A = this chain, B = another copy of it.
Amino acid sequence: MKIAILGFGTVGSGVYEILQQKNLAKQFSVEKVWCRPNDTIEIPKFCSNIEDIINDKDIELVVEVLGGIEVPFDLISRMLKSKKHVVTANKAVIARHYDALTDLAKENGVSLNFEASVGGGIPWIKNVELASRIDAISKCYGILNGTSNFILDTMLKEDEDFGDVLKEAQDLGYAEADPSADIDGFDVLNKLIISARKAFNKKLDPDDFFVHSMKQITKDDIHYFKQKGHIVKYIGEITHDEGVISLHAVPETFVEATIPSNNNIASLEGKTIGTLKFYGQGAGKLPTANAVVQDILDISKNISYIDTDNVENNDIIENKTNHYTFVIRTNETIDDALIKEKDGDYLITHPITLADIKKQTQLNDSLIVRVITQEDWHD
């Protein structure tokens, strides 16, 4: 199978490297690499004109690993219209343009795969699809951002403060110069919007979420929760109707409490399978490239895990109003009715709805931590 790669940054060069392995090189040939010219590295099969890829009938599959949204969206669309399969790691494009792109793939009789867009090297999308063939999935949750987990894990283990560890993460290349996507929750939001499509066959919008930044966390906060037997993690969770992305206080005996460094873990709950958890490297050159190559292999073997024409919810999951308990540290005023008790600097809420917490816009710059109990995750 002849392949083109759009983008030759970390992931793109990793995909190229893996495809040179002798077990893969005999099946796949990278014919063209389209990217910005670069004087510092040699780009194999460099191609400066995107039309040369679109018009090359021998190229059956295109890997899109550019940054950004509008350019990749346009290019993925054009490749699908040219009846080329597309594999992408671009979560922002898939989350935003899911219907348009999956429809375009279907109309043109080609595949659009995006395993690497959620959880990096973890085979999450595949395993959600497999589970959904049998079970109605009721919930997904996990640590889906490696940068925020690296920051919290280092703050805990090295007893350092947020700003210092963020700088360290930036120096190591784990965090961007503008870290907002990672620490304010928008990266996780895209991943959960994609997961909801796969797990529930449902379209969640950003408005269906409570998204709260991790940036107010201090080492004193981490000590406070540790004393109570909790480890603080940055976690996202979705049910069929809503999602929450925020700091979570997780009992230290729970699996999620132990996830080290920049690793990820993603869980699903199904009716007959119970809870499944998938752990691995959520980012990084070779793990992410591995997920891209897994998609290439599936497409080349014509493996589709689910019948896209035959997706139905096996069971109706009842809409119910979920309740969440939060711990808040703030200088702002809060409605007394929400607060169950005060513990030093910390206010502990009653179990409240996401609508309740979303109304508290005066808390945008306060610490908000959801508290997890056995009932939330271990039924």
**Footprint of B on A, CB under 8 Å?**
14, 18, 21-24, 121-123, 126-127, 130, 133-135, 253-255, 257-260, 265, 270, 272-281, 284, 286-287, 289-290, 293-294, 297, 301, 303-305, 312, 314, 378
Given contacts A297-B133, A297-B134, contact A274 B123 (CB under 8 A): no
Which residues of the partner chain B approach A284 to less than 8 Å between Cβ atoms?
Answer: 274
- Bound: A297/B134 CA distance, A: 9
Q: A258, B255: Cβ atoms under 8 Å?
A: yes
Q: B134, A123: Cβ atoms under 8 Å?
A: no
A322 CB, min distance to chain B CBs, angstroms: 23
Q: A314, B23: Cβ atoms under 8 Å?
A: yes
Q: B281, A274: Cβ atoms under 8 Å?
A: yes
- Bound: A258/B287 CA distance, A: 25
Which residues of the partner chain B approach A275 to less than 8 Å between Cβ atoms?
Answer: 279-281
| Of the residues B14, B21, B23, B130, contact of A123 by C-beta under 8 Å | B130
- Bound: A273/B255 CA distance, A: 21
Given contacts A253-B260, A290-B135, contact A272 B18 (CB under 8 A): yes
Q: B126, A130: Cβ atoms under 8 Å?
A: yes
Which residues of the partner chain B approach A121 to less than 8 Å between Cβ atoms?
Answer: 273-274, 276
Q: List 8 A-B contacts (CB under 8 A).
A: A130-B294, A134-B294, A254-B258, A258-B258, A272-B289, A274-B281, A278-B279, A303-B305
Q: A134, B281: Cβ atoms under 8 Å?
A: no
| Of the residues B21, B133, B287, contact of A273 by C-beta under 8 Å | B287
Which residues of the partner chain B approach A378 to less than 8 Å between Cβ atoms?
Answer: 260
| Of the residues B21, B123, B279, B289, contact of A255 by C-beta under 8 Å | B279
- Bound: A255/B142 CA distance, A: 14
A237 CB, min distance to chain B CBs, angstroms: 17
Q: A273, B281: Cβ atoms under 8 Å?
A: yes
A108 CB, min distance to chain B CBs, angstroms: 22
Given contacts A23-B312, A280-B274, A287-B273, contact A127 B134 (CB under 8 A): no
Which residues of the partner chain B approach A303 to less than 8 Å between Cβ atoms?
Answer: 303, 305
Given contacts A277-B280, A290-B135, contact A257 B258 (CB under 8 A): yes
User: Residue on B with the closest CB to A314?
Assistant: B23
Which residues of the partner chain B approach A254 to less than 8 Å between Cβ atoms?
Answer: 258
User: Residue on B with the closest CB to A17?
Assistant: B272
- Bound: A24/B135 CA distance, A: 10
Q: A276, B280: Cβ atoms under 8 Å?
A: yes
A27 CB, min distance to chain B CBs, angstroms: 9
Q: A286, B273: Cβ atoms under 8 Å?
A: yes
Which residues of the partner chain B approach A289 to less than 8 Å between Cβ atoms?
Answer: 272
When A and B form their complex, which 5 residue pairs have the shortest distance between CB atoms, in order from nearest?
A277-B279, A272-B286, A276-B280, A23-B314, A274-B281
- Bound: A130/B253 CA distance, A: 31
A172 CB, min distance to chain B CBs, angstroms: 16
- Bound: A262/B85 CA distance, A: 43
Given contacts A274-B280, A280-B274, contact A127 B133 (CB under 8 A): no
- Bound: A274/B133 CA distance, A: 28
Which residues of the partner chain B approach A274 to less than 8 Å between Cβ atoms?
Answer: 121, 280-281, 284, 286-287
